[in-house]
Amino acid sequence: MNLILLGAPGAGKGTQAEVICDALKIPTISTGNMLRAAVKEGTEYGLKAKAAMDAGDLVSDDIVIGILKDRIAQDDCKNGFILDGFPRTVPQAQALDTMGVKIDKVVEIYVADETIQQRLSGRRVCEGCGNSYHIDFKPTKVEGICDACGAKTVIRKDDEPATVIDRLKTYHEKTAPLKDYYAKQGKLVTVEGQEEVSETSKLTLKAIEG
Ligand code: AMP
């Protein structure tokens, strides 16, 4: 099954991707994580992407489409995959269609902007493996240390409050039109993000089965 998770930054797509990944045993592809890794490694496209990411803007379509294309060609994607954070623009969605990638369902995780702003201020990510935590909703066992790899957890630069406002604006302008794009194809299902993550997860799994 090929799935897309759609939603504003901080709506909880990453967490829901983990839940689906466990249930369906298909990999999650997060373009955000791949770009952050490229920035850290200082690769050519990492250097190009960094300024846009720090400012809360989108990285150019050609860079993101290129890395996505290489990733879904890998062996572990043969039985399906979950796209977390891709597509983010209509041209990116069109690129998937052009590549002949058949999308089965698009799950939108809906959370109001004000809630997102509160949530992102508590988000922490691991410097080592990129795992995501939240100081209230998904704390690490030891404060400031990643449960999975033991590296330090930090506030992402683009989770700073001013950048979050820009990221939400970008989402509404450039990504939200994808809802219409996929609704017209009869593929869009919307899940309302709940206060309890486990409740959202139940709704997500039901949306995929249904
Ligand atoms: P994320 O972790 O998904 O919130 O992504 C972090 C940042 O990476 C975004 O704010 C963008 O700057 C960039 N990014 C990730 N995925 C994409 C994409 N599909 N298109 C353009 N930029 C992206």
CATH number of 2-26+79-112+167-209: 3.40.50.300
CA of residue 143 relative to chain centroid, distance: 24
**Hey, what are 50's tokens?**
């960094």
Domain boundaries, the chain: 2-26+79-112+167-209
Q: What is the pLDDT of residue 50?
A: 93
Instruction: Place 121 in a pLDDT band, splitting at 50, 70 and 90.
Output: confident
CA distances from 128 to 33, 36, 67, 193 (A): 11, 11, 21, 28
Q: Determine whether 36 is an active site residue.
A: no
Residue 103 has a pLDDT of: 97
**Ligand 1: distance of its center to the CA of 99 in Å?**
20
Q: Report the alpha-carbon angle 95-99-103, nearest 5.
A: 80
Q: Write phi, then psi, for 71 (nearest 5 degrees).
A: -70, -45
158 lines ligand 1 (CB under 6 A): yes
Q: Is the dihedral of CA 117, 122, 126, 127 positive or negative?
A: positive
156 lines ligand 1 (CB under 6 A): no
15-72 pLDDT, tens digit each: 999 999 999 999 999 999 999 999 999 998 899 899 999 888 899 999 999 999 999 9
pLDDT in tens, 139-161: 999 999 999 999 999 998 888 88
Looking at residue 55, its pLDDT comes to: 84
Tokens for 134? Answer: 């939240």
- Exactly one of 105, 123, 202, 206 is catalytic; name it: 123
Q: Is pTM, for the whole model, over 0.75? A: yes
